[in-house]
Chains A and B, each alone.
Chain A
Amino acid sequence: MKGTNSLVGVDQYLLKSIAEELRLPLIQISRLAELNMQNQKIDQTDIKKMESSADLAIQLLESFILGVEYSDRQTEIELSPITIGAVLNDVAHQVNKLATANNYDIELSVKSAHPVMGNYEAIKMAYLNIAHTIITGSSKNENNRRSSLVFAVYNRGPKNMAGIYSNNLDINKNVWEKSINNFEKSRQKMPEFSHINGSGFFVASSILEAMSLELGPSKFHGNKGLAAGFPLSQQLPLV
């Protein structure tokens, strides 16, 4: 797989600066929505949607900024023993409301409790982006059809695989590699999505790559998704 760090070129500082600047109007929208949720005369459904959209955008920008900082080694990544299942559990809880609102049922399948080395917050941010992209990127989930969003951790050889999968996502090795290769050439990076370009996947990939972890297409119990393999250490469980 072509390294996604190569997506961060000479314009990275300008883009990072734009991302940082864009946060302010989005935070203004999010906080205004929060304030207006106190006002019973205003339609709460619309306000909640407004807040949720702004928060998702802030999350994406924050992740992009972190990805650039990590890629450029501006920020040192502090690694410590973590349980990847706990990270995915955390992410699943955080996206639960958004998933439900978009007709997704969350399932957790954590089959391994081995500690791995990683940065909890950075990995959480990466998986939040994957989950958000799957949930918001799919326009198929209409007419109240329910889909599953599976957060899975399992052992595969010397690695702890951690991925997010869905029966509403059609992603495979071909599509993923093509998307990465087409990143600079095509407006529609992911053919899977019509109204977004799947940037959340690429941002997640760049954060994980900075920790020498490779995000890629994967299958779990018939569902397709994206996963990364976290090397297992024989020593860590003894710590």
Chain B
Amino acid sequence: MKKILLIEPDKTLSIVAHDYLQGRDLDIQIAEGAQEAVNLADKNEPELVILEIQLKHHNGIDFIHEFRSYPEWHKIPILIYSMIPKKEFPLDDNAWRQLGVVKYLYKPKVKLGELYNEINEILSETKI
């Protein structure tokens, strides 16, 4: 089973996403915040990180920089699944790519089924 780290501060959404994706042969680890995410990544070595960029006590962009500061996690792709639309960040596609963000999905418009399809696409393209 592919290991995925889901960083989602909302408990209901994290449980629902976990149950939906876990039922589709994905091993989902949930972290509510940045520190927990780092600890879980250290323990489980995920193949993909799904990140809500609006975290408690943390800016998601700062988290990405911190995450990328560990050489062993340089190549782990990050999929942003957020309540904040991409347009609110002054970053172009190239800047997102440099952060290792392979996809930016806007949560209000993307359902779990579509999220699952995107995950599959990323995992099939990624060779760590």
Contacts and interface: CB of A to CB of B under 8 A. Distances in A.
Contacts of A30: 111
Contacts of A32: 12, 16
A23 interface: yes
B13 A28 contact: yes
A27 B107 CA distance: 8
Interface string A1-36: 000000000000000000010011001101110110
Contact of B12 (A28, A34, A62, A75): A28
B61 interface: no
Nearest to A31: B16
Given A34-B20, A35-B19, A35-B20, A28 B10 contact: yes
A62 B10 contact: no
Contact of A38 (B17, B23, B83, B108): B23
B57 interface: no
A135 to B, nearest CB: 20
Interface size class of A (residues with CB under 8 A): 10 to 19
B109 interface: yes
Nearest to A74: B88
Interface string B83-121: 100010000000000000000000111011100000000
A58 B108 contact: yes
Interface in A32-66: 32, 34-35, 38, 58, 62
Contacts of B108: 23, 27, 58, 62
A35 B83 contact: no
B10 A35 contact: no
Contacts of A34: 16, 20, 111-113
Interface SS of chain A: helix
A27 B112 contact: no
A38 B112 CA distance: 12
A75 B108 CA distance: 18
Nearest to B106: A62
B112 A31 contact: yes
Nearest to A23: B108
Contacts of A38: 20, 23
Contacts of B83: 20, 23-24, 27
Closest 7 CB pairs between A and B? Answer: A28-B12, A31-B16, A35-B20, A35-B16, A34-B112, A58-B108, A23-B108
30 contacts: A23-B83, A23-B108, A24-B10, A24-B83, A27-B13, A27-B83, A27-B107, A27-B108, A28-B10, A28-B13, A28-B16, A30-B111, A31-B13, A31-B16, A31-B17, A31-B111, A31-B112, A32-B12, A32-B16, A34-B20, A34-B111, A34-B112, A34-B113, A35-B16, A35-B19, A35-B20, A38-B20, A62-B108, A62-B109, A75-B87
